[in-house]
Structure 1
Amino acid sequence: MDHKSVGSRVRDLAKFLSTVQGDLSNITGPPHLLASSSVTEVGHCWAQRPSIFAAPALESDPEKRMLLVLKWFLVALRSQLYIGSSGSTKSSIKKPLNAFLGELFLASWTDPEKKCTTSLVSEQVSHHPPVTAMHVYDREHGIRSTGYARVEMSFNGTVNIKQVGHAVLHIDRFEEDYLMPLLDAKVRGILSGCMYPEVLGTYSIVGSSGYQADIRFSGEGMIRGKRNSFEARIFHRDDERQQTLYEVKGCWSEGGWKVRDPRMGETVEVYEIDAPENQPVPMVVDTLADQDPWESRKAWEGVFKGMREGDMRMVLNEKSRVEQAQRRMRQEEKERGVEWEPLFFKSVQPEEHEVWFRLTEGMPGMKLHGERTKGVWKPDLAKIESAQRPFRQGVTPLGYTEW
């Protein structure tokens, strides 16, 4: 990218942000700042390394299972937060497309060497407020993760990203649950034209086995001064001394981290993010010809084609076509008294979420915020198992063809 294009893009971004007040999550932004993917696709980060996802289900030692759950969480961060940069920390992150109500993303990943397969079902279950629900599972190894998130973005000189929601990882073999946090982040580097995410603060992964992982994130300008740094420790909550069983320190976006057992004074693992053996396996998504109109890549086909060809007029026209159709559909539903029903997820009242209350007992400050996400979203496993195209008869993202 030359200096002129960098300057131009920075000016465009600064001009755009200066006109925005409040929540940015439903605002599109200049076309060249958009990622060639939708919000519904972001969940691929949790599924793209099947052997790491399955590993806790194969480990009989509970403290090592917690360490493997923490590893899965950390490994997913770069793909999760460096959106639109192909996972590279050298490229500027971009904003994914705002998903429309009912948008779906379905994919799978298979590691033939480790004989593991993960699948992802993601759905935009609400538009006002925007809520995305997702379900990642490995049926053979009996492990699954379900989560939902409302993303709130604001600008006060820095783009602030706040996620409302959570995820739960369940392992059938041990009847264990792990409560996974959703991270807040700041987008830095706006003036340089190469934006990057920074996570700050402390988060906890809580397991029903009694083990817990606390992760403290830091970044540039902090005491250590290194971008995307973290320190984590694993302990058992019933231990009065809360002895540290494992320490994990490093960087989640590049380089990697070391795992140390302080009881033995030994390093038990060194994880290198860019090592060939740690790369994601290929994602399998049905061809566009075979996809349903509600699937993300099919629905936004024209937008992504415009991005590939550098045709911003096509990008804007195709985006507008979908967005205007969605507004018409909401108006028609209102006039006819029709309430939209998600395909693969259902909302339950917060008080019905037994796992949450069991795992957060004795942890002050933990709250579900169901009123901000239209309840707690859980997968309808029977519908996921029996899903067949076409997913919705008589209606596409462009409007109702049958009433």
Structure 2
Amino acid sequence: MSRKNSTTTFEEDADNTEVLEDENRSIIMGLIAQLRKGTDLSRITLPTFVLEPRSLLEKFTDFMSHPELVVKASKTTDPVQRFVEVCRFFLSGWHIKPKGVKKPYNPILGEFFRCEYKLKNGEKAMYIAEQVSHHPPVTAYFYSLPELGIFVTGEAHPKAKFLGNSAATMMKGYTRIVLSELGNETYEISNPNVYARGILFGKMVMEMGDQSTVRCDSLDLICELEFKTKGYFSGENHSVSGKIKRQSTGEVLYEISGIWTQELFIKGKNSSKESFFSVEKNPVISKLVEPLDNQEWNESRKLWSKVTAGLASNNMDYATDEKTFIENRQREETAARQKQGIQWQPRFFDINKKAEYEFKGVNGLDYNNLSKAKEQLEKYMFSHESSSSSPKETYNNKQGQKALISEPKSIAA
């Protein structure tokens, strides 16, 4: 299958802050005037100028951008050092961010994004994510280097709240790393929360905050991390600190500190502090994504391509119209399904007995023959459905804008 390197590059300010133009700030203020503290923002339509030009489904690939680190972890024989390497991999993706304070597109139900990464040694990582629920919003994702027995599954249940001069996205869900060649050794990871500060006054800044953990019960190890937000008079943007400990005894083995947008450090109990991860010294491995012409209509980049084009050309009216069209289509399809009693079925994921979304591509996977497993996963992840053409536009509404009612149908693998 033909693919090209089409990774998106974002410039960034040194402190990742943004000052809104007066017109844009007045729009934000008008929106905020309608909100109360604690309001759930998931049903609020935000103005187009605050959007990052990519879907949340693609946003999650940031945390997979250094696959060489999880490869190193899988090949590390010492259990404690292997755990340290998994922590390094987890912390390596946070530095990738847009300029200023931007929010990725809210994925529509059934939207999906897929890509792959080619490492220097010829190994391949593959990623796929699907929006499996819209209210409440749930994203399921699967990432793998199958030839090495590395399988990563996860769910994100973001919930945005208005907090006054800030907005918070509470990142419920999990990421689970399984190393099948090591007896299915499993690492359970929780994410920090995301805050947009300075909405009412001051400079706007995007921050990570609160606690996050990496845990491996079979190794009796846990890494407790705290992402720290900057105070009004003290602290530093984008700092993190943490400790790697024995779960059973609380013994601290390593301490982690630093700025996750620049450089992190680690210190053992009997050693001096040393560099743990340097953004400057670890270039991102680019995603390989199919050209838009080859993508299905509900793949993220194809689906949002016109909105992205409007943002790129600073044509906010065009971007807003296209965004509204996508959102209206989703509402109409939801209403049509409800009227006909049709329940949505995800294409790539199924609910398992633990009430978790499981990637369908692992069904029947031969873990004793990882080369064959790679072929099976690649075929499933990158297959195309001949019947999944874009819904047809059927009429124009009273305002002359595009509107659509499509025939609702389940998308099954």
TM range (shorter): 0.7 to 0.9
Unaligned stretches of 5+ in structure 1?
86-90, 353-374
Rounded to whole Å, the distance in 2 between the matches of 1:178 and 1:223 is: 37
| Aligned counterpart, 1:225 | 235
Rounded to whole Å, the distance in 2 between the matches of 1:393 and 1:204 is: 42
Cα gap change, 1:20 to 1:171, in 2 (>3 Å): same
Fraction of identical pairs, as percent: 23
- SS of the aligned residue for 1:281 comes to coil
| Aligned counterpart, 1:335 | 339
Q: How does 1:241-320 map to 2 (within 5 A)?
A: 242-253=250-261, 255-263=262-270, 265-275=271-281, 278-320=282-324
For residues 279-331 of structure 1, the C-alpha deviation after alignment (integer angstroms, 9 at most, x for no partner) is: 21121110000101110111111111111111112112111222222222112
Rounded to whole Å, the distance in 2 between the matches of 1:4 and 1:219 is: 19
- Give, in angstroms, the shift of residue 189 of structure 1: 3.1
Contact 2:149 2:180 (8 Å CA) reproduced: yes
Cα gap change, 1:397 to 1:205, in 2 (>3 Å): farther
Matching residue within 187, 191, 205 for 1:178: 187
Cα gap change, 1:46 to 1:391, in 2 (>3 Å): farther
Structure 2 residue 197 is the aligned partner of structure 1 residue 167: no
Matching residue within 195, 207, 225 for 1:215: 225
Cα gap change, 1:18 to 1:222, in 2 (>3 Å): closer
Rounded to whole Å, the distance in 2 between the matches of 1:274 and 1:397 is: 44
Q: How does 1:99-248 map to 2 (within 5 A)?
A: 99-112=107-120, 114-157=121-164, 158-174=166-182, 175-190=184-199, 191-200=201-210, 202-207=211-216, 208-221=218-231, 225-238=235-248, 240=249, 242-248=250-256
- Give, in angstroms, the shift of residue 124 of structure 1: 0.2
Structure 2 residue 323 is the aligned partner of structure 1 residue 323: no
| Aligned counterpart, 2:48 | 31
Cα gap change, 1:13 to 1:392, in 2 (>3 Å): farther
Contact 1:206 1:212 (8 Å CA) reproduced: yes
Cα gap change, 1:15 to 1:56, in 2 (>3 Å): same
> 1:307 is aligned with what amino acid?
L
> 1:245 is aligned with what amino acid?
L
> 1:391 is aligned with what amino acid?
E
> 2:215 is aligned with what amino acid?
V
Structure 2 residue 12 is the aligned partner of structure 1 residue 6: no
Rounded to whole Å, the distance in 2 between the matches of 1:193 and 1:203 is: 26
Contact 2:171 2:191 (8 Å CA) reproduced: yes
Rounded to whole Å, the distance in 1 between the matches of 2:388 and 2:122 is: 40
Cα gap change, 1:19 to 1:223, in 2 (>3 Å): closer
Q: TM-score normalised to the size of structure 1?
A: 0.83
- Give, in angstroms, the shift of residue 67 of structure 1: 0.7
> 2:202 is aligned with what amino acid?
S
Count of aligned pairs between the two proteins: 361
- The more displaced of 45-54 and 188-197 is 188-197
Rounded to whole Å, the distance in 2 between the matches of 1:146 and 1:183 is: 17
Contact 2:141 2:153 (8 Å CA) reproduced: yes
- SS of the aligned residue for 1:73 comes to helix
Structure 2 residue 359 is the aligned partner of structure 1 residue 379: yes
Contact 2:174 2:188 (8 Å CA) reproduced: yes
Cα gap change, 1:223 to 1:16, in 2 (>3 Å): closer
Q: How does 1:38-117 map to 2 (within 5 A)?
A: 38-79=55-96, 82=97, 85=98, 91-112=99-120, 114-117=121-124
- Give, in angstroms, the shift of residue 193 of structure 1: 4.4
Cα gap change, 1:28 to 1:102, in 2 (>3 Å): same
For residues 358-398 of structure 1, the C-alpha deviation after alignment (integer angstroms, 9 at most, x for no partner) is: xxxxxxxxxxxxxxxxx422211247542455437266466
- SS of the aligned residue for 1:140 comes to helix
> 1:181 is aligned with what amino acid?
S
For residues 152-173 of structure 1, the C-alpha deviation after alignment (integer angstroms, 9 at most, x for no partner) is: 1111212011122111111112
| Aligned counterpart, 2:8 | none
- Give, in angstroms, the shift of residue 8 of structure 1: 3.0
Q: After TM superposition, which residue ranges in structure 1, 4 or more long, deviate above 6 angstroms?
A: none
Rounded to whole Å, the distance in 2 between the matches of 1:216 and 1:193 is: 24
Cα gap change, 1:176 to 1:4, in 2 (>3 Å): closer
